[in-house]
Chain A
């Protein structure tokens, strides 16, 4: 019997006729229904058109209005799968910061399907990278872990030399004042190519907008983004 990754309880999964007739292998669940319910989905909810945050109307949220005021002509039109609430924060703590790589399986299926739905042939998938130091310590890229079966281009890299301070350790003000951390890692000019950025969390949007700017400096067309949590 499978054990829930989050709470450790045993998950009972009845074998149904539907499954029997589908001739598919048994798909053991990784999370129990009670834990799954802790996460608040944003699918079919009313969200801000700019960043995908949960809200009561369809206008731009104050954060996105600020981005517009700061001279952003096109917003990222970010869409997220879940709300960045306490349950998601705890999850990220264990997956990213404690470094339990098994936790990627909690959302891998759902997030891969979500990205699959939103991507189309003329949009190139670009993942937000992890800086070298973190990657060496953590041993994985958390965004890559959440996706299975995608070919993403390595168009972004971290600026070398500079000691990078993690976004997650900063205050909102400090985050917004972060300078461009990325360099372009592609070989050719992007020539109007549309881009779909993928990251784990959209908090202030700073990182994703930096990524967008650097790609557009190298000729990218429209840039949109998807995240697991907002």
Chain B
């Protein structure tokens, strides 16, 4: 480990070798601060009632960020300010050869401008729009200016997918990938790709901080991670939120002109988003637990299976997975194979792969597959779309699984619900709004 590994970082004693610690006496500060009946962790900035976290030896510890190594009141944190000491680049680090569509160019130019203008930006791009490529020009510019950049996402799989793409596009610099399951070592790099949890280990480090899928778990509604993201960027820096489904909070800030927004309402293949069809069916749950599908649902699924189209059926609760699978299997016949998927399923990745390689024809799933998966020619059905498990954002994301390939740019999205609840209406409204914007673009 070198001194440079500490630039812009917040590390615990045990994360730094002893010989280096000697040099860093001035860089240390107490890891926890008392505030009346509360104790405040200086790494994750959460305040915890003292009596909950007192240890028998009289010290305190922070339970909130304990998975990154325990912070105790007797410990010290080490931090060195970010000097941006990167070797200046002679050539452009960007080796990406692709090109952008005209409407993508516009967003790309806006992002490029944002690099020079500190502040917060929202890039509202529909599912499957090619957000990452749109950032390339902005990232290139920032890299040439010697700025430090971070691409963060709440989801590990997004980071894992992003890393090779960024490495391939920017051969001129060595990006670093950080997350809890990664075995790659840390090195001081101009370009960091990490999970939002890893931002807890940074302080005033980044000139450009991009957060992909801001509305995804665990970042959404998580105060600790939001604070961490704010602290990880420099005081004068650019923050970009990327999402297809911004939360009400973000939209409110857009309305109040605190957040500049840039839209990308068209998919890369220039087709509009498929609009979900909503069917009211009061007793679907009772029928399915009784082993049969509502007639309309059965008719739709049979039609899909006859056309040999793969499909996903979303259910609101894990306990509905098995009954739904049996009911669907009875309708589509034994030749059409399917199985269930849920978050704690150890074979989850294999099953998703099996659907992609046509060994399976359909999956019955919970919201776990709402984002991050792409299947060609897909159709989607949501049972109980009105239930609170499905937020409006989740429904938009689910609908966004459909029509992502050039071959079949549209498809069927069906919502079955017992009443047209607010989340369903909001999802439809959001999709319509983006399609309206997209239509305007298409028609010039």
Contact = CB atoms under 8 A, between A and B. Distances in A.
B320 to A, nearest CB: 16
Interface residues of B, number: 12
B67 interface: yes
Contact of A140 (B52, B55, B63, B66): B55
A98 interface: yes
Interface in B30-74: 52-53, 55-57, 59, 61, 63, 66-67, 70, 72
A129 to B, nearest CB: 13
A139 interface: yes
Nearest to A145: B56
A139 B72 contact: yes
Interface in A123-145: 135-136, 139-141, 144-145
A139 B55 contact: yes
B66 A99 contact: yes
Contacts, number: 31
A141 B66 CA distance: 18
B56 A140 contact: yes
A100 B66 contact: yes
B63 A100 contact: yes
B70 A140 contact: no
B64 to A, nearest CB: 10
A141 B56 contact: yes
Q: Is the interface of B mostly helix, strand, loop or mixed?
A: loop
B52 A144 contact: no
Contact count band on A? 10 to 19
A144 B56 contact: yes
Contacts of A141: 56
B52 A102 contact: yes
A158 interface: no
Nearest to B52: A102
Contact of A99 (B52, B56, B61): B61
A135 B59 CA distance: 12
A101 interface: yes
A115 B124 CA distance: 59
Contacts of A139: 55-57, 59, 61, 72
A98 B67 contact: yes
A178 B114 CA distance: 63
Contacts of A94: 66
Nearest to B67: A98
Contact of B70 (A98, A135, A144, A145): A98
Contacts of A145: 56
Contacts of B59: 139
Contacts of A140: 55-57
A98 B66 contact: yes
Contacts of A100: 61, 63, 66, 70
A98 B65 CA distance: 11
Contacts of B57: 135-136, 139-140
Interface of A: 94, 98-102, 135-136, 139-141, 144-145
6 contacts: A94-B66, A99-B61, A100-B63, A101-B55, A101-B61, A102-B53
User: Which 8 interchain pairs have the tightest Cβ spacing?
Assistant: A139-B55, A99-B70, A140-B56, A139-B57, A98-B66, A100-B66, A140-B55, A100-B63
